[in-house]
């Protein structure tokens, strides 16, 4: 029991550290939105590569899935790139991808918090609903004038209160206080109607960087728990090496593109391509088997 509590606190401290790093990056690049976008892009592309690599190593990828995802991505790109309404289509794509990103990041926070186990208490599910509702209201309010914003904010506030009631009966848990901090933090930002210079992409950049930094740390913790690694990539040294190599490769490709003005490479650093790759990643990494875990309460 002691080790379980210590592991839970360690994973929560990783969330806090990842959040603080993201805030520091945001403050550093608040007047340089391109750099914040490139940070999200670099971390994102390398994260998706690593996810695919480890899935492939565990034989978790069916041969037809990459082909279907590639076709879907191409269809979305062609649809959003053609026609007089392309600007509206791109704005809609941003909204869809960001809402999916919110769901992906919030539910992954609980998944890693349970040390990669899909067992959720009622409080955890309610906390997820609160954060998803509030972050969605925040994103929609930056793009549209919509009656959904006050409705989602109300849902987030009510479920946030239910979450506070549920966790107040559990006593002190660092993970509970961390979720409460996030709920109240988003409520404050939503109520203040703050508009950042990073525009409508701010939410996906911010939560994307936070999520990937957290994933790197949480996955390292998981690998460090292996007494006998299956291979080099499942060892601590191998994992750190491949993380550094993947991020360095993305930066190197970008440096080549900027230095030699290679138009064919610029496509990979376009906003639309970034959004589509994110969407395909979310679709491919959604754990559909967890739906039962959200509905049926488990003791954590």
Q: Has residue 248 got a pLDDT over 80? A: yes
pLDDT of 196 reads 58
Is 152 inside a domain boundary? Answer: yes
CB atoms within 10 A of CB 64: 8
Averaged pLDDT score across all residues of the chain: 83
Of 20-34, 100-114, 238-252, 280-294, give the lowest mean pLDDT range. 280-294
Is 16 inside a domain boundary? Answer: yes
Is 108 inside a domain boundary? Answer: yes
pLDDT tens, 105-136? 998 888 777 666 767 788 888 999 999 999 99
Dihedral of CA atoms 251, 284, 215, 91 in degrees, nearest 10, equals 60
Q: How many domains does the chain have?
A: 1
CB atoms within 10 A of CB 161: 13
Q: Has residue 95 got a pLDDT over 70? A: yes
**Look-up: residue for tokens 């990828």?**
61
Q: Has residue 180 got a pLDDT over 50? A: yes
CB 99 within 8 A of CB 139: yes
CA angle 204, 62, 247 (to 5 degrees): 40
**Mean pLDDT score, 276-281:** 90
Share of the chain above pLDDT 90, in %: 31
Report the greatest alpha carbon distance in the chain.
61
What's the rounded Cα separation, in Å, for the pair 34 and 40?
A: 10
Q: Has residue 78 got a pLDDT over 70? A: yes
Confidence of residue 1 (pLDDT cuts 50, 70, 90): very low
- If we measure between CA atoms, which residue out of 38, 74, 54 comes closest to residue 280? 74
Is 298 inside a domain boundary? Answer: no
pLDDT tens, 42-65? 999 998 888 777 777 666 556 677
Question: If you count DSSP H runs as helices and E runs as strands, how many of each does the chain have, helices first?
Answer: 12, 0
**Mean pLDDT score, 239-262:** 92
Which range of residues forms the domain containing residue 211?
Answer: 2-293
What's the rounded Cα separation, in Å, for the pair 286 and 176?
A: 24
Is 42 inside a domain boundary? Answer: yes
Q: Which residues contact 260 (CB under 8 A, 6 or more apart)?
A: none
What's the rounded Cα separation, in Å, for the pair 58 and 65?
A: 15
Mapping DSSP onto H, E and C, the string for 126-194 reads: HHHHHHHHHHHHHHHHHHCCCCHHHHHHHHHHHHHHHHHHHHHCCCCCHHHHHHHHHHHHHHHHHHHCC
pLDDT of 2 reads 43
């Amino acid at each position: 029991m002691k080790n379980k509590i210590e592991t839970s606190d360690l994973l929560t401290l990783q969330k806090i550290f990842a959040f603080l790093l993201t805030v520091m990056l945001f403050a550093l690049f608040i007047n340089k939105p391109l750099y914040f976008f490139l940070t999200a892009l670099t971390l994102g592309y390398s994260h998706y590569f690593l996810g695919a690599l480890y899935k492939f190593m565990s034989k978790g990828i069916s041969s037809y899935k990459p082909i279907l995802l590639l076709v879907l991505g191409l269809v979305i790109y062609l649809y959003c790139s053609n026609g007089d309404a392309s600007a509206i289509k791109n704005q809609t794509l941003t909204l869809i991808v960001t809402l999916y990103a919110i769901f992906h990041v919030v539910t992954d926070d609980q998944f890693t918090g349970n040390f990669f186990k899909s067992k959720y208490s009622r409080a955890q599910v309610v906390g997820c609903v609160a954060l998803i509702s509030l972050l969605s209201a925040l994103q929609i309010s930056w793009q549209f004038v919509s009656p959904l914003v006050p409705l989602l904010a109300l849902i987030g506030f009510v479920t946030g209160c239910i979450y506070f009631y549920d966790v107040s009966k559990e006593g002190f848990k660092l993970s509970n206080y961390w979720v409460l901090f996030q709920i109240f933090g988003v409520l404050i930002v939503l109520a203040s109607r703050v508009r950042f210079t990073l525009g409508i992409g701010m939410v996906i950049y911010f939560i994307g960087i936070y999520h990937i930094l957290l994933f790197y740390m949480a996955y390292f913790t998981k690998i460090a728990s292996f007494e006998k690694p299956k291979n080099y990539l499942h060892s601590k040294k191998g994992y750190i090496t491949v993380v550094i190599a993947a991020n360095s490769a993305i930066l190197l490709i970008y440096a080549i593109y900027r230095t030699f003005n290679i138009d064919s490479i610029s496509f990979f650093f376009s906003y639309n391509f970034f959004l589509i790759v994110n969407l395909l990643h979310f679709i491919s990494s959604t754990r559909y088997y967890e739906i039962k875990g959200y509905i049926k309460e488990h003791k954590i």
